[in-house]
Structure 1
Amino acid sequence: MRPQPVFQSLRDQIERIEGRGARGRTVLPFGIATLDSRLPGGGLTLGALHEVAGGGNGAIDGAAAALFSAGVAARSRGKVLWCLTRADLFAPAMAQAGLIPDRVIYVEAGDDKTVLACMEEGLRHGGLGSVVGEVARLSMTASRRLQLAAEGTGAIGIALRRWRREVDASDFGQPTAAMTRWRVSVLPSTVLPVPGMGRPRWLVELIRARAGESADFELEACDDTGRLGLPPELVDRSVPADGS
């Protein structure tokens, strides 16, 4: 469902007020019409910060959020800087989501403050396609610095929210400068006509999109090119008039 002219006009005015130029309007489409139509410009904005978290505090949803981020990074151009505080990423799983090891530069930092500093340096560098940073907390000040750094080079910044304790997640939902905020939860995998395990499925929640619309999507997990899929039973289903 394409945005109505009056809404698109309002979005354009907001972009001009916020000072985003042509680079800010360059997007990375997901290739799924129902998802892209909810995003300003028809895709994930380049030169911007985006926020991703698991739907729960457990490791399974956290891994899904990491793979969602890896799929986005895989479809960007250039090297990917991944900043983390614990070396627990499983490279083969990242490769299955399209992010091959040869493209990734890992930076292991001691705490969130150092991760944020490394992210900012990476975004200001100008030679990277994406910069991912695993952080528990993200203040408005820190997110604004990352947003400005991304705007200057056109790289995608992804703040991947990971929590060791439930209390660490208390600030998720507070305002940040991120262009979009996502939450990813694991669903039962696609049913196969024969014994075996089908393609994993996620509930992908677009909680916030600046100048866009929030929505929930049931999607198949990233393939080896980093692309999400629409479940077969939904491919030919018509979209309701309200776009949900």
Structure 2
Amino acid sequence: MASSNAARIAALQEQIDAIGGGVARQRVRLPFGCREIDDRIGGGLSFGAIHEIAGGGSDAVNGAAAALFAAGIASRANGPVVWCYVRDDLFFPALAHVGLDMDRVIFVQSDNEEGAMDNAEEAISFGGVSVVVSELVRLPMVASRRLQLAAEKKGTMGLIVRRWRRQSEATDYGQPTASATRWRVSIIPSEPLPVDGLGRPRWMVELMRARAGECFNVVVGACDDQGRIEVVKDNHGLDHARFA
């Protein structure tokens, strides 16, 4: 049912493109490699669009999970990556640990949010990169529309990692934007092991909004060294996923 609904919505989106631009554009997508996710979003995350990602809380741990989720996506895409940021707290070994080759990434630090947003728009508009990641606290509708239009024109994927310094800023995440999808990533207990030690980290990944899919949440094993996530199965072989 979820797969057929996503296909219908994707087809309608192509019709809207045809009306608005004269020619329907076939969207190139980057699969997660998990049918439980890909079937619900038309086959994967679309290029030529921006996608928002946030942690499940305002703390640094959940913020790091959101950044690693974005890094895993970028690592699976071909071509150069631009990462725009303000706060000087990126831990580069962690990005490399989820498969993001540092030789492919151009890191651009700005003094303020406006600079990071302008740099992201410039990188997306350039058209010579596959993915642009930008860390932002807020994403106003006008700014998101500019980024979305630039992404549509160049076929670049924009990943907006929403980061907050305090919980009060997190309320902005519910405001309308032009993003194609909106995700939330939360830390949950890691994979249990039969012996003492730490198992694979686990996240609760929530699709909060999508143009071509229905909202859902799913428990996954965090990105491995190739940027891949894996849906967690229960003892009966069923995935821990449900519609919102």
TM-score, normalised relative to structure 2: 0.91
Match of 2:37 among 35, 38, 41: 35
Distance 2:235 2:19 in 1: 38
Letter in 2 for 1:28: L
SS in 2 for 1:25: coil
| Corresponding position of 2:45 | 44
Distance 1:27 1:235 in 2: 31
Q: Verify the 8 A CA contact 2:234 2:240 in the aligned structure 1.
A: no
| Corresponding position of 1:25 | 27
| Corresponding position of 2:120 | 119
Q: Verify the 8 A CA contact 1:61 1:185 in the aligned structure 2.
A: yes
| Corresponding position of 1:98 | 99
Shift of 1:168: 2.2
Shift of 1:112: 1.0
The root-mean-square deviation of aligned C-alpha atoms, in Å, is 2.3
Distance 1:197 1:227 in 2: 19
Alignment of 1:63-142 (within 5 A): 63-142=64-143
Of 29-38 and 177-186, deviating more is 29-38
Q: Output one character per residue of 1:99-127: Cα deviation in whole Å (capped at 9) or x when no partner.
A: 12211111110111111100000001111
Shift of 1:12: 3.8
Q: Verify the 8 A CA contact 1:218 1:230 in the aligned structure 2.
A: yes
Letter in 2 for 1:32: C
| Corresponding position of 1:195 | 196
| Corresponding position of 2:152 | 151
Aligned length: 242
Q: Verify the 8 A CA contact 1:132 1:160 in the aligned structure 2.
A: yes
Of 181-190 and 230-239, deviating more is 230-239
Q: Verify the 8 A CA contact 2:17 2:24 in the aligned structure 1.
A: no
Distance 1:20 1:59, change over 3 A: farther
Distance 1:59 1:36, change over 3 A: same
Distance 1:20 1:43 in 2: 25
| Corresponding position of 2:205 | 204
Give the fraction of aligned pairs with identical amino acids, expressed as a percent: 50
SS in 2 for 1:51: strand
Q: Verify the 8 A CA contact 1:24 1:48 in the aligned structure 2.
A: no
Shift of 1:22: 5.9
Shift of 1:214: 0.6
Shift of 1:36: 0.7
Shift of 1:93: 0.7
